[in-house]
A and B are shown apart, each in its own frame.
Chain A
């Protein structure tokens, strides 16, 4: 199964950009790259997703390496509300075998 590897924790100061890396060296051609974040005592919240090209939305940007074996979630200006656990997830659009691996995620701490 395709798995993801993320740093356990990262820190940032408020209003600074944050680059959260994710390695997925065994990614398949049909795997979408999704990012979700989870605040304490809440369900995960969608951040962004992509397949091959870089993606932007009002929350963040997703930069996908050309070989798709890694990706980076970019928060352009971190706020205190961005402190959460960030999960990089691969979801296979073609499989019924549960190719949906969350990993442990990255705990992002944002300092005021």
Chain B
């Protein structure tokens, strides 16, 4: 079956702009989570959505937000972009949640802020 699909794969934005990243989970998966990966901070958890509700949240400022639609597809938005937001943004899906479940990751969206 199809894996987790993220779009776009690569994008360049200017400081101060906003960006929206999209994620299509594996069919039947209700949990979608987002992560940021940078060389300096490593892999960090952003948030998790389950059945259209944010269920879990990492330690990121309010500029980072997300939502999940009724078909489990999810979007992540970053407003007022800063240079430090340049990173690989990973989306992952799982059947019921994070703990005790297999989490399947997409290949990520590479965001460069200039």
Partners in one complex: yes
| Interface size of B as a range | 20 to 34
Q: Are A97 and B100 in contact, CB atoms less than 8 angstroms apart?
A: no
1/0 per residue B20-61: CB within 8 Å of A? Answer: 000000000000000000000011110100000001111100
Q: How far is the CB of B105 from chain A (nearest CB, A)?
A: 3
Query: Nearest-CB distance from A96 to chain B (Å)?
Result: 5
A100 to B47, CA, bound (A): 10
Question: How far, in Å, is B90 (CB) from chain A's closest CB?
Answer: 5
Residues of A within 8 A of B57 (CB): 96-98
Chain A minimum-CB-distance residue to B105: A43
Interface size range on A against B: 20 to 34
- What B residues does A45 contact at CB under 8 A? 105
- Contact in complex: A93, B43 (CB < 8 Å): no
Please determine whether B45 and A100 come into contact, CB atoms closer than 8 angstroms. yes
Residues of B within 8 A of A (CB): 4, 42-45, 47, 55-59, 90, 92, 97-100, 102-108
